[in-house]
Amino acid sequence: MTTGPAFAEIGIVGGGAYGAALALAAARAGRGVRLWARDGATVAAIQRDREAPRLPGIALPEAIRATDNLSDLAACDALIVAVPTQHLREACVAMAAVLPRGAPVVSAAKGIERATGLFATDIIARAWTGVATAILSGPSFAEDIGRGLPTAVTLAAADAALARGLAESLNSSAFRIYHASDVRGVEIGGAAKNVLAIAAGIAIGLGFGESARAALVARGFAELRRFGEAHGAEPETLMGLSGLGDVVLSCASPQSRNFAYGLALGQGRTPAEASGGRLAEGAFTAPILAEMARAKGVDMPIAAAVAAIIAGQTGVRDAVAALLARPIRAEI
C-alpha cells in the first residue's frame, strides 16, 4: 500500500449530519467528494441549496457532489461509511453488489452490532469479503466538524501504511487525524463511550450534580478499560482520543445524542419517550456490551445498569440505589 496522500476521490456513504460533516472535512483536505444519501429529497436539497438538511447553515462546496446512486461511487479511491452500526451491514451488502472491491472501506460508526456482537470492521469484512477496512473515531460532533472548528480523531487500520495514507489524505488544519493500528481498541472506545454517556445523562437528569457525574465518568472509564483489555485493546489507545477523549466529550454535553437520551431517562421519561425519534447508538450497544462483558467475566456494573434500565427491568432510581449499595472495594 502506497503511503502518503494517495486518495484523491473520497466517497461518503450516508447523508446525515455526520456524513455531511465528513464530506466537508474531506473537501477541505483538497479531496474530491461524492456524497451518497439514500433519500432522493436529501440529494435534491444539497444540489439545490448547497446545504445538507441534517447540517443546516453550513455551505457545502462544489467539490462535494451528491447522489442517490451507489454506482456513482465506483471511481472513488476510498469509502467512508457514516451510517449507524445497526445499519452498517445493510449498507455494505448494497455497496458490495454494485461497487468494485479495490477501495478501502472506513467505518465512522460507533457501536456493536446487537444481533451478533460484531464491531464495525468485522461487520464490513463479513458483508463485503476481500475489502481493506479501517475505523475512524474520536471526540467529534458533526456540527463542530462542519463549522471547521478544531477537531482531532483517530483512524486505525491493521495495515499501518493504509492508516497513514488515509490519515494524510483526510487531514487538514482544523481536522487533525492521528493514525493507529489498534483497530479493536479504537472500536471499543467508540462503542462503550456511548453507554457511559447515557449513564452520565441519567445522573444529571436525576439532579445529582457535577461531582456525581465526575465520579460516574471515572468509574465508567475504569469499566471501559477492563473491557478493552479483555478484548486485546492496547491501554494507550483507550487513554487516547478514541477512548478517554470521546468519553469526556460525550459525557459532558446534551449535544451528544446519548447524553441527551440519558438526561431524558433521568428526568422520568420512558426509554421510548427519551429517544424522541432520534437515534441514540448507546441504547442498542448497552445490552450487547453488558452481555459480552459477562461472557468474559468483566465487571461492568454501570453498563449493566444502563442495559437494565433500557430493557425496562429496573427504574433509574432503583438502578442508582443498587450501584451505591455495592460493597466497598479498593479503587482499581
Residue 1 pLDDT: 40
Residue 329 pLDDT: 84
Q: Confirm whether 110 is a catalytic residue.
A: no
% of the chain beyond a pLDDT of 70:
98
- Hey, what domains does the chain have and what are their CATH numbers? 9-181 (3.40.50.720), 191-324 (1.10.1040.10)
Nearest to 80 by CA among 128, 42, 33, 114: 33
Confidence label for 4 from pLDDT (cuts 50, 70 and 90)? very low
% of the chain beyond a pLDDT of 90:
94
pLDDT at position 5 over 50:
no
Q: What b-and-e string marks burial along 290-322, b requiring 16 or more CB atoms within 10 Å of the CB?
A: bebbeeeebebbbbbbbbbbbeeebebeebbee
pLDDT at position 2 over 80:
no
* Mean pLDDT computed over 242-263: 96
* Mean pLDDT computed over 211-220: 95
* Mean pLDDT computed over 8-15: 97
Confidence label for 278 from pLDDT (cuts 50, 70 and 90)? confident
Helix/strand/coil percent split, the chain, to 5: 50, 15, 35
How far apart CA 301 and CA 287 sit, in angstroms, is 12
Cβ pair 247, 196 in contact under 8 A: yes
Whole-prediction pTM: 0.95
Q: What is the largest CA-CA distance in the chain?
A: 61
Cβ pair 200, 224 in contact under 8 A: no
* Mean pLDDT computed over 255-266: 96
* Mean pLDDT computed over 24-44: 96
Which carries the bigger pLDDT value, residue 272 or residue 113? Answer: 113
| Catalytic site residue from 31, 54, 193, 213 | 193
DSSP 250-289: HTT-TTSHHHHHHHHHHTT--HHHHHTTS--HHHHHHHHH
Sequence-ordered list of residues with C-beta below 8 angstroms from that of 197, at least 6 positions apart, any chain:
247, 250, 251, 256, 258, 259, 262, 282
Confidence label for 6 from pLDDT (cuts 50, 70 and 90)? confident
How far apart CA 5 and CA 169 sit, in angstroms, is 4
Place of cell 426509554: 271
Residue 328 pLDDT: 85
* Mean pLDDT computed over 32-59: 96
Residue 109 pLDDT: 96
* Mean pLDDT computed over 318-332: 88
Cβ pair 100, 74 in contact under 8 A: yes
> How do residues 171-210 score in pLDDT, each as one tens digit?
999 999 999 999 999 999 999 999 999 999 999 999 999 9
